[in-house]
Chain A
């Protein structure tokens, strides 16, 4: 089972959605759409009857409502009002360290399978260094126990992903995506890359996306058009090849990984030349 993000064109890039009870990091500079991504994730949950928790260090419930209304996501506003989505604003200046209050709040309100958003995680960990990896690991473990989380991380304007407050969450998360906006308004000015997705296939490449009222983020993914799964299944079944590699290829095909006929043939060519 996968947890759909609700971001059009994105789920197919990560193998159908997030894996349940995982921590999924979204890295991007200011203005790339991290908050919209987070709200879209919660909106998808509402449409499936799921509960959500939104923790912010910058925006209060009123600001989140204004943003949701501007996007035309009135269901989200309604869900905040009826308690399906809980929005809390913590004051980052009072939190110099990961504390158990946040975890207690999430645990109380998520029932183990909720959609959790921490937007953004950066104020919480900006004072930490590489020695704090264990503490962030602990925090992420608590989040996993409470549901499936989206944690946004701010990319510094120095374009450095190697700073500990960026790199440690990426290392410790189950999936990480990197959003970038170079600000020229061209087709590839806003792009998204999947850095990793543990225990899941994910697409490689740079995918352009747009932000539009009503739709939110729309990722231009044409994987479905490029690869025909049925063709691959038929191809593998019809091949007279070693049962060992046939079994591996069948697994690949059943997982719905978008792979072309040419790649299958090349893999077989390499396998056969090695085993000749």
Chain B
């Protein structure tokens, strides 16, 4: 499964401005991790694991399409994929708009793979 996800998200995760891409399950468990800059990503991963449940709660109950958080020089973009999965992209906001468009395209490709068990 991680191989399939990796192939789909590569267009975003290989972007030079992206330091990491993590897919979290609703309980805060990271089910897929692609890290380009370990040191930068690790300090934010623990923070995200603890926040992800409430972030998902906000997204689904307030009908938010996305949430972005800025921490120091890193921007974290959280986009829901399915009812239980959220893709978080950690990036240096230098080409933000292009990355957001690309991320939404990736989400649409991931949805059929991750939404159904079959």
Contacts and interface: CB of A to CB of B under 8 A. Distances in A.
Interface of A: 180, 182, 184-191, 205-208, 210, 220, 222, 225-226
Contacts, number: 54
**Counting chain B CB atoms within 10 Å of each CB, which of A185, A206, A220 scores highest?**
A206
A208 B32 CA distance: 11
Interface in B57-92: 82-85
A186 B31 contact: no
B26 interface: yes
A186 B84 CA distance: 8
Contacts of A182: 25-27, 84
Contacts of A187: 1, 113-117
B1 A186 contact: no
Using C-beta atoms within 8 Å of the partner chain, give the interface range for chain B. 10 to 19
A83 to B, nearest CB: 38
A205 B82 contact: no
A186 B30 contact: no
B29 interface: yes
B3 to A, nearest CB: 4
A111 B2 CA distance: 41
B3 A206 contact: no
Contacts of B116: 185-187
Contacts of A191: 25, 29, 31
A189 B83 CA distance: 10
A222 B2 contact: yes
A186 B83 contact: yes
A182 B1 CA distance: 18
B11 to A, nearest CB: 19
15 contacts: A182-B25, A185-B117, A186-B82, A186-B83, A186-B115, A187-B117, A189-B84, A189-B117, A190-B117, A191-B25, A191-B29, A205-B2, A208-B31, A222-B1, A222-B3
B31 A206 contact: yes
A210 B2 contact: no
A182 B26 CA distance: 9
A225 B114 contact: no
Contacts of A180: 27, 29
A-B CB proximity, top 10 nearest: A222-B3, A220-B1, A206-B31, A187-B114, A188-B31, A184-B84, A185-B117, A208-B1, A186-B82, A186-B84
A226 B1 CA distance: 11
B82 to A, nearest CB: 5
Interface string B82-109: 1111000000000000000000000000
A206 B117 contact: no
A188 B2 contact: no
Contacts of A210: 117
Most buried by A among B2, B27, B29, B85: B2
Nearest to A221: B1
A241 B29 CA distance: 39
A197 to B, nearest CB: 19
* From A184, A186, A220, A225, residue with most partner B Cβ within 10 Å: A186
A142 to B, nearest CB: 35
A188 to B, nearest CB: 5
